[in-house]
Amino acid sequence: MFGIRALGALFSLTAGSALAACHHSPSAQESIADGERIFQSVCARCHGADGHGGPAVGDANPPRNFRDAAFQTSRSDDALKLVIQKGKGGMPAFGNLFSPSELDGLVHKIRSFGPSH
């Protein structure tokens, strides 16, 4: 059957694979869940839980209405991520606060308000 060395090598290989699996990149479902959570706790204050936007504060433009078809079709996913990171107009910059996976989740959430959803 297996010798002690073969069993040790098999155990090492299996343990290494298990450790590698623990340090995986987030799945699409995890990213979507993160985007939902972040949107509700951070973004909904201004953009509304339903994505319709809200009233302007001071001289700033009102927060974007994510349900607007023209808005949805005129912005790429990368452009949305850039605005989240760098800010624009009255929207604050969040810099590197969100991981790439969380940004993907936020974009997914923003797209979920689109006219096709």
pLDDT at 25: 67
- CATH topology for 26-112 is Cytochrome Bc1 Complex; Chain D, domain 2 (1.10.760)
User: How many Cβ atoms sit within 10 Å of the Cβ of residue 80?
Assistant: 19
Question: pTM for this one?
Answer: 0.75
Domain boundaries, the chain: 26-112
In Å, how far are 38, 40, 81 from 88, measured between CA atoms? 19, 20, 12
Residues 18-63 have pLDDT tens digits of 334 444 567 999 999 999 999 999 999 999 999 999 888 888 889 9
Local confidence band at 114 (pLDDT 50, 70, 90 cut-offs): confident
User: How many Cβ atoms sit within 10 Å of the Cβ of residue 26?
Assistant: 16
Averaged confidence pLDDT in the chain = 81
pLDDT at 116: 58
Instruction: Report yes or no: 68 and 114 within 8 Å, Cβ to Cβ.
Output: no
pLDDT at 1: 43
